[in-house]
Amino acid sequence: FTSLKDMHLFTPSKWLADRVKKSFLGHYPITVCPNGIDLEQFRPIDSDIKKEYHLEEKKILLGVSTVWYEKKGYSQFLELAEMLPAEWQIVLVGVSDIQKQELPPNITGISRTNSIEELAKWYTAADYFVNPSYEETMGLTTVEAIACGTPAIVYNKTALPEVLTEKSGVVIQECNSQSIKKVILENREFLP
């Protein structure tokens, strides 16, 4: 553009577009352009990743973040660890070394994966992907999990509900770990 009056804004979600419209930038044209993922990399992948981590007999509840803190839903996973039956194991990718040392036995902490393929293996191995974040402009980890065939559970916050359909996951209205537990233990069936 040649000046600010010619500026056009792009956001990755309707949720963010609505926020921008309410800001001082709201008088500029806004277009929603969702981020994409590489479906050649994020797809169902058969692997022995559960065996590598000695989790063959466990159902997996997966969470993925670059860093884990309160607004990303870290404490929700700690609460779930206390509530879920013994057959469930939580796997959190993106934990710090300090967090890893503090995790209970039914949470496996992984600082980071070594490759996109390893991440796709975790997505595929999981029974559910949970994204209890209050800070998402798009939620690409949720999109990646769905692309790997894993149903997602998200809060009705930020842009996360935009990436789900009835067949790909559940949007939880009451944003708390009890609601997540209820969805998990109901064993809702999702169609591929």
Write out pLDDT tens, residues 85-135. 999 999 999 999 999 999 999 999 999 999 999 999 999 999 999 999 887
Closest CA to 66 of 101, 36, 110: 110
Q: Which residue has the tokens 């309707």?
A: 14
79/14 Cα distance (integer angstroms): 31
**Is the separation of the CB atoms in 122 and 129 below 8 Å?**
no
d(CA 131, CA 11): 20
Is the CB of residue 53 less than 8 Å from the CB of residue 29? no
CB distance 109 to 92 below 8 Å:
yes
Q: What is the pTM of this model?
A: 0.87
Q: Which tens digit of pLDDT belongs to each residue from 19-70?
A: 888 898 888 888 888 788 888 999 999 999 999 999 999 999 999 999 999 9
